[in-house]
Homo-oligomer: A and B are copies of this chain.
């Protein structure tokens, strides 16, 4: 039982392979009659083009690569979903790789994708990526690459992001406007731009509202986990008795904080207001429900693919294009924790 090829159809119909190929692709120089004959036979024989041959010939795989720091993550899951959905609409498949927040792995994965000849790459930087040569190498080869969420200013390519600084500003401002004077911040790791920006947004808000920045109110979550939120809250309460607000770098950390505050019977928001970041579905489920910043993961995935798609078509047609940074809106979701 061999696979049915163009040759088989050609032999049965006693025409050439070339004509069969052209008939199936609706070339103008094939008569309607032969087109019909070919298409009908292809249908009944259940002809499926050999995509290996097509890839080889057209030098396109209709697949893109996606490198993400961590698959088991609510925000990234949503991004993945958005990417896959959009890619499918355009007939693209998505190969997913995980960098585990490691620069070395990220580099290796990128190499792998390039050697597999994907048509484009979507990626979010790992936390310890400080060198961008591997990415520039890909761009230099004219392989479209779009960064999302975790990006770097020094990489010259298209990006899909949110304005972390502004969002953090709004979050902190919301705490201030609800009366908080001593606002703590559980920030993310030192390196990725996001946590820096969120930290800066926090600082900016304090400054704007004439609140003195107090470094001992800032804790750094290296892993951004529930436990960190939980433990740092204990430490915070122990050392900073007058704290009345908390802005956490992510909902998970905020939920950890809430768990500890509940345990300590500290009233939220009466004694301390808490705001998170991301709008994870659990944040509306816990008690008290968590005020947060909505970060549109699904949309980000969708937009990132759309942008990549545009660049892939431009490159295929050898048309010039400019890199673009797409900024997605975030919104403040007010619930019971503030």
A181 contacts chain B at the CB level, 8 A cutoff: no
A48 contacts chain B at the CB level, 8 A cutoff: yes
A87 to chain B, nearest CB (A): 10
Give bound CA distance, A93 to B112, whole Å.
9
A96 contacts B80, CB within 8 Å?
A: yes
Give bound CA distance, A71 to B81, whole Å.
6
Q: Which B residues are CB-close (under 8 A) to A52? A: 52, 55-56, 59, 61, 117
Which residues 34-60 in A have Cβ within 8 Å of B in the complex?
A: 48-53, 55-56, 59
A19 to chain B, nearest CB (A): 23
Which residues 272-297 in A have Cβ within 8 Å of B in the complex?
A: 281-282, 285-287
A217 to chain B, nearest CB (A): 24
Q: How many residues in A have their beta carbons less than 8 Å from beta carbons of B?
A: 45
Specify how many copies of this chain sit in the oligomer.
2
A241 contacts chain B at the CB level, 8 A cutoff: no
Which residue from B94, B98, B230 sits with its C-beta under 8 Å from A84?
B98
Can you list the 10 inter-chain pairs with the closest CB atoms, starting with the nearest? A52-B56, A72-B77, A56-B56, A52-B55, A226-B285, A71-B81, A93-B95, A48-B115, A96-B96, A71-B80
Q: Which B residues are CB-close (under 8 A) to A49? A: 115
Give bound CA distance, A49 to B117, whole Å.
10
Give bound CA distance, A191 to B234, whole Å.
46
What are 20 A-B interface contacts by the 8 Å CB criterion? A50-B117, A52-B55, A52-B56, A53-B56, A71-B81, A72-B81, A81-B98, A84-B97, A84-B98, A88-B97, A93-B95, A93-B97, A94-B96, A95-B95, A96-B96, A226-B282, A255-B285, A256-B285, A259-B286, A263-B287
